[in-house]
Structure 1
């Protein structure tokens, strides 16, 4: 995806400035970030920490005055600009940084038009909002950032069950379950199924922890050392 053009839209009133580096690390994985915009009522004290980050990351700050007390002023402005850029520019990947479910319709509209839409937010985000994206990353998963030896506990039981089912189906159909294929199937069903959301550095590390708990599977690698996959543990198949 190195040649893909990426646009990042940040709701500063919804996401703390301390996550700036993490946000752009995620975004840059999808291609060349050519649009960086951040939205807020900059007269508010609680978002002043973003000012330094704006210069550090070359973000364009957009001002939107609040029209009512307690209401996020940026929702409509961000949505309108994202749609305007969708119609006016050739953008492949839209990154919406907010935990506000008001952006659900925006994400759905962009996806309907075959754009890759990435969500970045917090654990407080509604599941319906998370599922409106192609992929979703959590910024505040503190429970999986500790040195927990059993990080699989952070993965919902429903997802673990589906993971096992996908692996079994692939092995039954193709004699092996390639990691890339497993990951693709899981992300299609769960937009927030990402190794980093659960404290793993890579999908392979997640699977290695998974097979420690499921010894019926065995890891293999292709001759060119490029493709990792699972097969049934041959030692358990012996009579």
Structure 2
């Protein structure tokens, strides 16, 4: 993948499987990866359910693509999006794709795009099937973007669990240990950047925000009962080591 500033991205939104109120945070998050040169949203615009999207299109330079539902109760949006994605791929128009949907029907598309050497991001809800999540190189859960959403008050309140140390989360610690073993050097330390890359390879949907922290650096610093975190005096390199 090219450097962030040089990367061109095709943003393809399944309007039937995404919420208009989350568009702003999604655009902000995807823009961190590069420049969104193609912006399209797919759906049946004769359907009243698409009304919420209409006022956002011009303001965000998003091209609506009409796709009629040929059979009642059958979603045909996915086929239109997939065909467009393949046209963009063969036209060599971008370096990366971002597919916004919680639908597993895009699993094979994501796999095919990656086979062609392109970077693929996915954006969807936490209910998104693992097959689609794993097919992407990075997957962003929209729930982790709620803090930036002006409508977040509409969301259902999340029940807080009893205050437990983060290190008590066995699934998290198991994932961190596996990633650390992939990223560590001979001196049994791993740079924070290498640890982050290993975490993404293990789980494209891994996000520190899922654990209440805005960055991987903040997450590992919250695990000092299990990890030694060292920042070099010169430069910004941070290394991590599991405590024995």
- Please report the TM-score for the alignment, with normalisation by the length of structure 1: 0.86
Alignment of 1:205-216 (within 5 A): 205-212=218-225, 214=226
CA distance in 2, matches of 1:232, 1:25: 34
Distance in 1 between residues matched to 2:187 and 2:53, nearest whole Å: 50
Counterpart of 2:139 in structure 1 is 136
Contact 1:135 / 1:187 at 8 angstroms: preserved in 2? Answer: yes
Superposition map of 1:87-236 within 5 A: 87-141=90-144, 152=166, 157-167=170-180, 173-212=186-225, 214=226, 217-231=227-241
Deviation track 1:121-149 (CA, whole Å, cap 9, x = no partner) reads: 01111111111111101113579989876
C-alpha displacement of 1:160: 2.5
**CA 1:147 to 1:53, structure 2 compared with 1: closer, same or farther past 3 Å?**
farther
**3-state SS in 2 of match to 1:89:** coil
Match of 1:85 in 2: 88
Q: Structure 2: which 5+ runs fail to align? A: 147-155
Separation (CA, whole Å) in 2 of partners of 1:168 and 1:90: 37
Q: 8 Å contact 2:184–2:191 — kept in the other structure?
A: no
Larger deviation, residues 124-133 vs 189-198: 189-198
Contact kept in structure 2, 1:144 and 1:199, CA below 8 Å: no
- The alpha carbon displacement at 1:78 in A equals 0.4
**Secondary structure of 1:33's partner?**
strand
List structure 1 segments (4+ residues) > 6 angstroms apart after TM superposition: 142-149
Matched, 1:44 2:47: yes
TM-score by length of 2: 0.84
In structure 2, the CA distance between the partners of 1:75 and 1:169, relative to structure 1 (3 Å rule), is closer
Unaligned 5+ runs, structure 1: none
2:180–2:198: 8 Å Cα contact kept in structure 1? no
